[in-house]
Amino acid sequence: MKGVLPPLTLASFLTSWVLDPLGVGLAAVLVGTYVVLVRRVRRNGGRWNRWRGAAFLGLGAGTLVLTTCGGFAVYRSALFSVGAAQAALLSAVTPAGIALGDPVGLAQRALGPAAVARLNRALRGPLARVLMFPLVSSVLAVGSLIAIFYSTMFTASMSSTLARDGVYALLLGTGVLVVLPLLGEELLPRWCTPPVRALFAFADGLLDAIPGILVMTASAPLAAGVLGYASRTWGATPAWDQKIGGGTMLAIAEVVGLPVLGAIIADWVRSDEADARAVDAALDARAAASEGPAGPGGPGGPGGPERMPLWWADDPRYIDREG
């Protein structure tokens, strides 16, 4: 943005906007596709969770527009801390909103069998499985953030539209690779049960702290080439502004990890309840089938009541295990 920016206040932050074609275009595609799929599910007699839709549209597409077109996009050239906060939001908050909306599950319910088959092949191919595997995707996301601030990418994004949009796409893409499989069990191997995914999410939270700590404790300016940081006559000094930016990145990364971990734990609880109901139903059916006409020995005939097998003998979770 050309010209000298006024001091950052809440009013100036909320009223400062710039048009970013990538952010607006991507948000429009995401919202339009999601709405069409939800309508198709409802037209077929199904229902879709409104909270998922709100998370996708508000936390996902909404933060995408805010970070690429709102005050974050305007003041990133004047305050390092604003640019750092923008990067953290694009890497963590926007992907979390998209993943909480469960776009893969929505597409699988809305599309026809042939389209679903193509979607599953694309999402479960060798490359996708490697890129979306937990810890691999976490390292990619963390490494991207570090590379942006410890290379010339961040500085170049201030003067080049192509570099800026490249940074935006890198942050958003690597962030989606992390949270989408963690919140969608169908994108991971079968052994990645909710407890395992919760462990991966906890490990990802620890890794997410690294970029913020590195930025906050850096002894040298990480964006010395940005003229707006040195020429600004208001706000914190460049050195303190950089420390504030690192602390902001750390806070955003850790705060966003909590709802993601909470969603996984909630899925864990629902999965255990469903497994328990399935086991109870199987045991009840077996007990009903084992009951015979009453005889001298009681239920089951002359030999007395038939002995019920141990509960885990018919549990589908353990039936294929030895020992």
pLDDT for 323 equals 45
The Cα angle at residue 13 between residues 10 and 17, in degrees rounded to 5: 155
pLDDT at 306 over 70: no
pLDDT of residue 1: 45
Mark whether 151 and 217 lie in a shared domain: yes
In percent, the amount of the chain with pLDDT more than 90 equals 43
Residue 167 pLDDT level (bands cut at 50, 70, 90) = very high
Same domain, 165 and 299: no
- Interval 52-82: pLDDT, tens: 899 999 999 999 999 999 999 999 999 999 9
Q: Residue 312: which domain range?
A: 294-323
DSSP bridge partners of 299: 294
Q: Is the pLDDT of residue 94 over 90?
A: yes
User: What average pLDDT does range 303-320 have in this prediction?
Assistant: 53
- Measured between alpha carbons, how far is residue 87 from residues 7, 128, 263, 301 in Å? 21, 24, 23, 73
User: Do residue 185 and residue 317 come from a single domain?
Assistant: no
- Are residues 132 and 191 located together in one domain of the fold? yes
Which pair of structure tokens corresponds to residue 35? 């709405």
**Cα(106)–Cα(96) distance, integer angstroms:** 16
**Confidence class of residue 116 from pLDDT cuts 50, 70 and 90?**
confident
| pLDDT above 70 (res 309) | no
**Interatomic CA distance for residues 198 and 204, integer angstroms:** 10
Q: Do 173 and 268 lie in a common domain?
A: yes
Q: Which of 7-11, 192-196, 276-280 has the highest mean pLDDT?
A: 7-11
Residue 288 resides in a domain = no
Element (H, E) at 295: strand 294-295
Same domain, 118 and 247: yes
pLDDT tens across 203-244, in order? 888 888 999 999 999 988 888 888 888 788 888 888 899 999
Residue 91 within a domain = yes
Domain count, the chain: 2
d(CA 146, CA 208): 11
Residue 204 near residue 178 (C-beta atoms within 8 A): yes
- Kindly state whether residues 267 and 302 are assigned to the same domain: no
319 vs 207: which has the higher pLDDT? 207
Residue in 136, 16, 154 with CA at minimum distance from that of residue 81: 154
Q: Contacts by 128-133 with C-beta closer than 8 Å and gap 24+?
A: 128/187, 129/189, 131/177, 132/177, 132/180, 132/181, 132/187, 132/188, 133/181, 133/188
Distance CA 8, CA 4 (A): 12
Indicate whether 58 and 171 sit together in one domain. yes
What are 14-67's pLDDT values in tens digits?
Answer: 999 999 999 999 999 999 999 999 999 999 888 898 888 999 999 999 999 999
- What is the predicted pLDDT for the residue at 312? 52
Determine the pLDDT at residue 196: 79
Position 299 pLDDT exceeds 60: no
